[in-house]
Amino acid sequence: MAQLTLLQAINQALKEEMRRDNKVIILGEDVGLNGGVFRATEGLFQEFGEERVIDTPLAESGIIGMAIGMAMYGLRPIPEIQFMDFIYPAFEQIVNEMAKMRYRSGGQYNVPLVLRTPYGGGIRGGHYHSQSSEAYFTHTPGLKVVVPSNPYDAKGLLISSIRDNDPVLFLEPKKLYRTIKGEVPENEYIIPLGKASIPLQGDDVTVIAYGAMIPICISAAKKANEEGISTEVIDLRTLIPLDKETILNSVKKTGKVVIVYEAPKTGGFGSELSAIIAEEAIEYLEAPILRIAGLDTPYPYTLEHIYSPDPRRVYEAIKKVYNF
């Protein structure tokens, strides 16, 4: 198996699926000759040509609207929004058209579309290039939301998303694009949507996270383990559909929970996780559920290290619930 970055794994998945199925189309700003702002689509234009790798104007609503039409009439488009921060002009298309088309048409049309976009901080991008707005979209019935945390998962989840007959929002943690490497099989494989993983097992505290927060949580958990606090880390992989079974089984075992996400704390997806645990496993809880998240402010440029959760904050939360 090759050692790939998360970015290379995404590129490999796109290339393999485009070779396998000529209905797979890529479109977006600078995805063609330039290979994308992060080079996720590098080399695809040269191999598949301008009819399957389409450079578009800077018009997010138009990109998604065009992709919806393509999907309804038999193609499998993969539109890219350069940064999640610029997804909002297409919000109406995503939540009112893309997510609702199968329901609205009584199953006459589906929208097999994967909307790829990099999210989150870690590159000193300031408040217009660092947002984590996944909660807006997890609130949208009909839309699946996928967030990989490592190269192996990125390839397997992206292939599953491309082959899915419903629309998928595929969020790529840009902080991890080139900062982590992992073994990725060169052959075809898929990771089912809706199935979490447990990269670190433990018995005393459950830490739940996704995307760029997973390496941070593993680092904090390993430090806690060194001090005798057996800590389990759950990588959700997909937010919608959510693997409640894995979450609840872990909570029932440990009785203590820390939830970590990069978005602002208020109204973040961690609130939904906390509510599910309180509703379905409160009799197993031995301490309050703690949320470690971003601040309720715009994402700062110079103070990223204060805004975003880090191993120290997660470690302190693990100790706090353990000692409650």
- What pLDDT is attached to residue 120? 95
Q: Are 2-184 and 197-322 equal in CATH topology?
A: yes
Sign of the CA dihedral running 14, 67, 135, 35: positive
For residue 108, CA distances in Å to 102, 162, 166 come to 7, 20, 13
- Residue by residue, pLDDT tens for the chain (324 residues) are 899 999 999 999 999 999 999 999 999 999 999 999 999 999 999 999 999 999 999 999 999 999 999 999 999 999 999 999 999 999 999 999 999 999 999 999 999 999 999 999 988 878 889 899 999 999 999 999 999 999 999 999 999 999 999 999 999 999 999 999 999 999 899 999 999 999 999 999 999 999 999 999 999 999 999 999 999 999 999 999 999 999 999 999 999 999 999 999 999 999 999 999 999 999 999 999 999 999 999 999 888 888 999 999 999 999 999 999
What is the architecture, at CATH level 2, of domain 197-322? 3-Layer(aba) Sandwich (3.40)
Per annotation, catalytic residue among 127, 129, 139, 305: 129
What string of DSSP letters covers 90-109?
GHHIIIIIITTHHHHTTTS-
- What pLDDT is attached to residue 123? 80
3-state SS, residue 117: strand
Distance, in Å, from the CA atom of 321 to the CA atom of 303, rounded to the nearest integer, reads 27
pTM of the model: 0.96
Has 127 been annotated as catalytic?
Answer: no
Are 215 and 32 in contact by the 8 Å Cβ rule? The answer is: no
Residue 239: its H or E element: strand 238-240
- What pLDDT is attached to residue 305? 86
Length of the chain: 324
For 37, what's the count of Cα atoms within 13 Å in the CB-facing half-sphere? Answer: 13
Compute the C-alpha angle 81/298/154, nearest 5°.
Answer: 40
- What pLDDT is attached to residue 1? 81
Domain locations in the chain?
2-184, 197-322
Sign of the CA dihedral running 216, 222, 225, 230: positive
- What pLDDT is attached to residue 125? 77
Q: Which CATH number fits domain 2-184: 3.40.50.970, 1.10.390.10, 3.10.129.10, 3.40.50.300?
A: 3.40.50.970
